[in-house]
Amino acid sequence: MKGYRVLVCSAGTSPALGIVKCYRWLVGGTNHIVTSDLVADVGVSIYSDKHYVVPQYSSPQYFPALQEIIQKERIQVVYPTHLDEILYLSQLGEGLPKWYRELAVLNPPEMVLSANNKPAINALWEQSGGLVPKAFASASDVKDSDFPVIAKPPNGASRGYENIYRIDKRAVLEAIEDRIAGMLVQQCVIGTEHSIDFVAESGTLVSVCARTRSRVEAGLSVLGTTISAKDFVHVVEITLKILPHISFGNIQIMRDESGRDYLIEINPKLPGTLIHSAAAGLNMPLILADMKLGNAVQPVSVTSGLHRMRYHDEIFWSNNGNRWALRDRLR
């Protein structure tokens, strides 16, 4: 099988790590994996064939540097992975270089910017028959019976989990009222959190994988299980209705004890735990590459009941530049 030649940008992100793992171990053929980042010391680079240090994505030198890498390495597909970069690229819209738009795996700009506006998406979700957690116009509107509540930014950003607050008591709410001014305040739904990863083409669902987020650390699922996606078809249908041109993404849902599904957010990018879905059969990076290259997209079968635990893996290197992972030495 002929391999793919891919460039994975912002290599320090969780999606970047997942993409590299997919091409290294879950995609057939001899693949050429190139990564880029602001710094040289990025753990995932140990599994890439070449790593480049590039300027900040907003720098005038960014696209020239990227184009040089693409030409030198004969890159076929580019994966932006950092949410802040994706938002910046979406704001540029048609101002992006034509060669970049032809190679980059990106959702249409209007889909990215719409999905990133949480209050607007929540309103559209409700209009389409879905449920969202009860929202409050101000902290003073929260009644004692409404606790616990969640306060979060109305627009997504990388490391957005750092600005999310769970508030269980009125005294705490009053103490941080100034800090959460302008944030989206919602009732905290008690239940099981789920992620639904999906790929679509021209408004039609291509494939989907649903998984639990059994344990979350710093906004990232570290423990979960794939489950049947049949119960979440309505969730994807609403998403494709309100974001008709979206091609891929991740929907986060909280299912309460009565089995009702509440929208938490829609992420219009490759998810940080895409490797779980890929191992279960939904290899999002590969499918999106084939769609980008005009290749036939092969039907997939997604396995339910696949458990996953995330762990940290140390990378070591010496002064001569030789890098190795401890697990590789212990085999």
Whether the Cβ atoms of residue 87 and residue 116 lie closer than 8 Å to each other: yes
CA angle 91, 248, 254 (to 5 degrees): 100
Task: Give the residue among 12, 11, 15, 10 at the shortest CA–CA distance from 277.
Answer: 15
Strand partners, 223: 215, 309
Residue 331's identity, in one-letter code, is R
The confidence score (pLDDT) of residue 331 equals 55
Q: At what angle do helices 233-242 and 118-127 cross, to 10 degrees?
A: 110
Q: What is the pLDDT along the chain (331 residues), one digit of tens a residue?
A: 579 999 999 999 999 999 999 999 999 999 999 999 999 999 899 899 999 999 999 999 999 999 999 999 999 999 999 999 999 999 999 999 999 999 999 999 999 999 999 999 999 999 999 999 999 998 889 999 999 999 999 987 655 566 889 999 999 999 999 999 999 999 999 999 999 999 999 999 999 999 999 888 877 888 999 999 999 999 999 999 999 999 999 999 999 999 999 999 999 999 999 999 999 999 999 999 999 999 999 889 999 999 999 887 788 888 887 888 877 766 5
Q: Looking at residue 158, what DSSP letter applies?
A: T
Burial class (CB in 10 A: 0-12, 13-18, 19+), 278: buried
3-state secondary structure of 185: strand
The Cα–Cα gap between 37 and 50 comes to 12
The confidence score (pLDDT) of residue 133 equals 98
pTM: 0.94
The Cα–Cα gap between 3 and 47 comes to 16
What spatial distance separates the first Cα and last Cα of the chain, rounded to whole Å?
Answer: 28
The Cα–Cα gap between 185 and 167 comes to 10
The Cα–Cα gap between 204 and 237 comes to 9
Residue at token pair 């409700």: 126
Whether the Cβ atoms of residue 226 and residue 304 lie closer than 8 Å to each other: yes
The Cα–Cα gap between 44 and 222 comes to 18
